[in-house]
Chains A and B, each alone.
Chain A
């Protein structure tokens, strides 16, 4: 049973380009969460998705950032017109259900985005 798969592991983009980060949740998991992590800092919540629905995007910047989790295929975090400040590690986590009784989300290895 493969864990949460993120790709690419490392991504380098020039300023103004688009970055696409992919996350395949664990088998049977329909809840996906994206987090951003700067060096030496904790994870910052960005967005929570279920299949074909955005449930909570309160942590995601209103401009340039978007996320989707289609019926088929991985969840995509898309950053348009990247800037240097977007450089960070982006982690995806998945869970079968997210209630107060299930707090153990499984994390992927992350995508490290570098904007040059």
Chain B
């Protein structure tokens, strides 16, 4: 079964506010965690990733936090804009026994930016 799951299926945020999307995972052996953004009718788009030996990584308006103690991942989006409305997926990069890498995906959180 899936090892990555999300706490909230839908999140509504006022434009300009910050948003936090959460994700739980169960596979301690995963090397990387990735956040993807998927707009309606489009394929997933890479946002940011973080290695398992880090606890924080920042990008442009986005910050990913990794708490390995409680196996929790979060995506913070600062000063949200209408274009941030999308479904956000966390995924873990997992190496199988024969060293092939797979992405294991969570179910997604729909972020709605209210004007």
Interchain CA distance A58-B98 in the complex, whole Å: 12
Chain A residues with Cβ below 8 Å from B100 are: 48, 55-56, 98
**Contact across chains for A42 and B105 when beta carbons are under 8 A apart:** yes
Query: B102 touching A100 by the CB < 8 A rule?
Result: no
Q: Decide yes or no whether A91 CB sits under 8 A from chain B.
A: yes
Chain B residues near A91 (CB-CB < 8 A): 43-44
Q: CB-CB < 8 A to B41: which residues of A?
A: 109
- Interface size grouping (class) on chain B: 20 to 34
**Quick one: which of B49, B95, B105 has the most chain A CB within 10 A?**
B105
Contact of B93 among A59, A103, A109, A110 (CB under 8 A): A103
- A72 interface hit (Cβ, 8 Å): no
Contacts of A58 in B (CB 8 A): 96
Inter-chain CA distance A14–B89, complex, in Å, is: 32
Q: Within the complex, what minimum Cβ distance (angstroms) separates A43 from chain B? A: 5
Question: A65 near B: Cβ within 8 Å?
Answer: no
Interface size of A as a range: 20 to 34
CA distance in complex: A106, B41 (Å): 16
- B 2-20 to A, binary, CB cutoff 8 A, 1 in contact else 0: 1010000100000000000
Q: Which residue of B lies closest to A110 (CB)?
A: B43
A69 contacts B by Cβ under 8 Å: no
Q: How far is the CB of B35 from chain A (nearest CB, A)?
A: 11
| Chain B nearest CB, measured from A66 CB (Å) | 19
Q: How far is the CB of B60 from chain A (nearest CB, A)?
A: 15
Cβ of A56 and Cβ of B102 under 8 Å apart? yes
Q: Is A108 an interface residue (CB 8 A)?
A: yes
A40-83 CB contact bits vs B (8 Å, 1 = yes)? Answer: 11111100100000011011000000000000000000000000
B contact residues vs A (CB 8 Å cutoff) = 2, 4, 9, 31-32, 34, 41-46, 49, 89, 91, 93, 95-96, 98, 100-108
Would you mind naming 20 contact pairs between A and B with Cβ atoms under 8 Å apart?
A35-B105, A40-B107, A41-B107, A43-B91, A44-B105, A56-B102, A58-B96, A59-B102, A93-B43, A98-B100, A100-B31, A100-B32, A103-B32, A103-B93, A103-B101, A104-B34, A105-B46, A107-B45, A109-B41, A110-B43
